[in-house]
Structure 1
Amino acid sequence: MNLDLENILLSKTVNPILRRIVQRIDRYCPEDGSLLINSLRIFLGEDLELCDRCRRLCEGLAIPFYELGSRALHVDKDFMRKRFIEDRYGEAWFKGFALMMRGIGKYGIRIPFTPAGPFEVVWNFTYKCNLRCKHCYEDAGRRRPELSTEEAKKVIDVFSEIAYVGLPALSFSGGEPLVREDFFEVASYAKGKIPYISIASNGTLITKEVAAKLKRCGVEYVHRRSLG
């Protein structure tokens, strides 16, 4: 079956029902925040206090919907609990789930699937680099305008509000991000708004002291590009 036919069948059968259900529970409460995320937390065993309206939608629609979906898709609830609740990257999982659900509410189930926003952004934080590698796609030898520290923080503010959910993961790239003197300030700011922070680096500037600073400011992973 070709993809166009599959998408047509989905749009005429499953999608209208799924979209209506997700749209009902996709609400942002001034008191409680995202009902999509809060209802999943309760489904996975967290004890949350919700306002009356959110509680009714959660108990009457969201939880039964998740129960039905988990049985139909043979989802291991204990596995989900470990990933979302117990895992150190749980907040990234929650944001990814909300982006997926909002994508279903907006577009239905498509092939390929379309979430409401990206799960990760690889951000060319700077054009500058301390190397001039022949194979590199970035022309680091040419001077070009750079964002100021405050402008970079405003970009992160935008990332943190993507699709009214926020970005699950951000990777600093470039250029060589560590060339910028404000990298650690901006990375620390990003960690306060985005659950998972990583960096793509050539590794030449990473000393023991720099590695310790990367850990302190919340960088979870360093991809050394020269090693692939």
Structure 2
Amino acid sequence: MEAYIPQGRFTLQWHITHRCNLRCRHCYQDDYSAFEGRAQLEKILDQYTELLTENKFKGLLNVTGGEPLTHPDLYWLLKTAADRGISTGVLTNGTLIGVEEAKKLRACGVDYVQISLDGCEKTHDEIRGKGSFDKAVRGINALK
């Protein structure tokens, strides 16, 4: 039996941290302090890049967490991946995105940012915490 090797795009959804600034009711993350150090990020990114090269895949790196914007090496990771020709996306709660963060994401060549909204303000805040809806909307507006 031959191994199945998919053609085309190979997506890596990478939880680079368990750290988060929110305490959502539905979240399965239970370690709010840990994150991968830069050396570990680089090692994993090198392995992913090698896999893409060997198999002639186009890469898509979805960076998430926890909350990826809490990671001190997020922008380095995104820029390094983009410099290697890997498309990048960030999956976030959006509450930590202001004008400066939006500029940094653009400068890193991020292809898209996905911000979680769980309904109208009341519903969203019941799930993610009071004021989180307004902060997420502020993040969306900063990305425009």
Q: What's the TM-score once normalised by structure 2's chain length?
A: 0.70
Q: What is the correspondence of 1:97-108 to structure 2 with a 5 Å cutoff? A: 107=3
In the comparison of the two structures, how many residue pairs are matched? 117
Percent of counterpart pairs with the same letter? 34
Q: How far 1:140 sits from its partner (Å)?
A: 4.2
Aligned to 1:215: 106
Aligned to 1:193: 84
Greater relative CO (CA pairs within 8 A, separation 6+): 2
Gaps of 5+ in 2: 120-144
d(CA) in 2 for partners of 1:115, 1:211: 34
**Paired residues of 1:132 and 1:140 also in contact (CA < 8 A):** no
Amino acid at match of 1:124: H
**Paired residues of 2:69 and 2:92 also in contact (CA < 8 A):** yes
Gaps of 5+ in 1: 1-10, 12-105, 109-113
Q: How far 1:117 sits from its partner (Å)?
A: 8.6
> Larger Cα Rg: Structure 1 or Structure 2?
1
**Paired residues of 2:9 and 2:57 also in contact (CA < 8 A):** no
d(CA) in 1 for partners of 2:89, 2:106: 10
Of Structure 1 and Structure 2, which has the larger fraction of its residues in helix?
Answer: 1
Q: How far 1:137 sits from its partner (Å)?
A: 2.1
CA RMSD, aligned part only?
A: 2.5
Q: What's the TM-score once normalised by structure 1's chain length?
A: 0.46
Equivalent of residue 119 in structure 1, options 10, 28, 47: 10
Q: What is the correspondence of 1:1-228 to structure 2 with a 5 Å cutoff? A: 107=3, 115=6, 119-141=10-32, 143-144=33-34, 146-162=35-51, 164=54, 165-227=56-118
4+ runs deviating over 4 angstroms:
none
SS in 2 for 1:161: helix
SS in 2 for 1:191: helix
**Paired residues of 1:120 and 1:170 also in contact (CA < 8 A):** yes
